[in-house]
Amino acid sequence: MIARNLITDGILPLKTSDTGRIALSWMEDFRVMHLPIVNNEGFLGLISEFDIYNFNDFDKAVGNHSLSLSKAYVYDYQHIYDVLKIMQQHKLSLIPVIDDRENYLGSITLQQLLEHFTLTMSVNDPGGILVLEMSSNDYSLSEIARIVESNDAKILSLFLSSAPDTTKIEVTLKINRVDLSAVVQTFLRYNYLIKATFSEPDDHDDLRERFDSLMNYLNI
């Protein structure tokens, strides 16, 4: 997935002549804390709610002020991992997407990214979650997959996480089985450290309700 495939049509960019008051009103309407500023099609930078409150005069045009986030953007061909990295670095609620000529193409919101990863990480699929801890040198995706599949189960999604200043990693697996007991026993036989397991309730509608509640919260 690349940036251009995640662009939303729902975010309007600011013009340099728009005031800080207009910007704050749009941020409230769009439920974001940042907005792009463009001149015709050219991307100029990203303005934050914090920048506007520092103006001291909400009726002045945003183009009259320096921007603290002039370099916060991605090119349309960049991968979604680059989008996540830059959004995390700058603590953004949205990120502008530009082309090679630095023309503004649209924006990607944090909510869109959450919805995308909900689909790609099989969050809505029934199953259980297993967390393994190991040295990074011991990590073998092929062996982990073989152990899971030896129990007539499948890995729906997998991701790695690591803490600073350590060689330990956590491997989180979403498996298409609610009952993970057989899979756990097999990992234990191969001397894997099981850090945690999570089994979803039989009522899958409850998980859907919790996800919907989270999305509604993000829309506040």
If the chain, 220 residues long, is cut into consecutive pieces of 10 residues, what is the mean pLDDT of each piece?
89 94 94 93 92 88 82 93 92 95 94 81 84 94 97 94 88 94 96 90 55 60
Fold of 3-117: CBS-domain (3.10.580)
How far is 192 from 194, CA to CA, in rounded Å?
Answer: 6
Provide CATH code, domain 122-212: 3.30.2130.10
Tokens of 56: 């001291």
The pLDDT of residue 208 is: 57
Q: Are 35 and 11 in contact (CB under 8 A)?
A: yes
Tokens of 104: 């503004």
Handedness of CA 129, 132, 133, 137 (dihedral sign): negative
The pLDDT of residue 201 is: 58
Handedness of CA 188, 192, 196, 200 (dihedral sign): negative
Return the half-sphere exposure (C-beta side, CA atoms, 13 A cut-off) of residue 122: 18
Q: Are 146 and 121 in contact (CB under 8 A)?
A: no
How far is 57 from 79, CA to CA, in rounded Å?
Answer: 39
Handedness of CA 215, 218, 219, 220 (dihedral sign): positive
Instruction: Give the single-character DSSP code of 3.
Output: G
The pLDDT of residue 218 is: 59
The pLDDT of residue 207 is: 53
Instruction: Give the single-character DSSP code of 133.
Output: E
- Is the whole model's pTM more than 0.75, yes or no? no
Among candidate residues 156, 152, 158, the one with its CA nearest the CA of residue 131: 158
Tokens of 123: 């969050």
Domain boundaries defined on the chain: 3-117, 122-212
